[in-house]
Amino acid sequence: MGERPEPPATGGGSEKYQKILDAAVEVIAERGYFNSPVSAIAKRAGVADGTIYLYFKSKDDVLRTAIDSTFAKFYAQIEQRFETLTDPREQLEYIAEVHLTSHQVNRSMAVLMQTEMRQSAKFIAEFSHHHLVKYIQVVREVIRRGQQQGVFRQDVSDGVVAHCLFGAIDELLSSAVFTERVYDPRATVRQVMDILMNGIATSDDAGDGEYIPAS
């Protein structure tokens, strides 16, 4: 009683399965998708080429599974934190901070997401359909709760705000990955949130909150 069970020797919970996923992410981040044969992934994972096909149908399947696994962890982390973090503003900050610091958790995956996902129309479509839609939906739900509580303005689109948040953080993440610029996650996220909530106009120019295009 109380002993932690050993992971299965084969299947999704096995050590070998995870090694293949990790190796695929590392190799593809370093060499690019089309220059990363299964043999290179197998070599990095320390397994025979054929072993990969015991777990995955193809290289595409390995990559999709790795991305799915990463986002599953992301959403699980958000969901768990939201059990005790209830303020909508703090919830948005938390989503943004987890997103921005993802390259510190797994730089290879961050590189892969910022390169392969932008170069392949197929992967962009799949990512947008599966993961971006869910990300935007999570943020939209937070915005709606904030609007219901009177924290956020009622006259703004929750969808537009969600896309603005994703776009801002994703661009900062891209800068961190490719230029190796170091951001203070908390300070940077608070600046993004300040701009998102309050805009960049001075208080004297803010008016009644309605944007008036410059002539």
Domain spans of the chain, in order of start: 63-198
CATH number of 63-198: 1.10.357.10
pLDDT at residue 11, rounded to an integer: 54
Q: How big is the CA angle at 198 (ends 168 and 104), to the nearest 5 degrees?
A: 30
pLDDT at residue 33, rounded to an integer: 86
pLDDT at residue 119, rounded to an integer: 65
Distance CA 200, CA 186 (A): 19
pLDDT at residue 140, rounded to an integer: 96
Taking 70 as the pLDDT cut, the residues of the chain under it are 1-13, 117-124, 126-128, 203-215
pLDDT at residue 211, rounded to an integer: 42
Span 110-123, pLDDT tens digits: 888 887 766 666 66
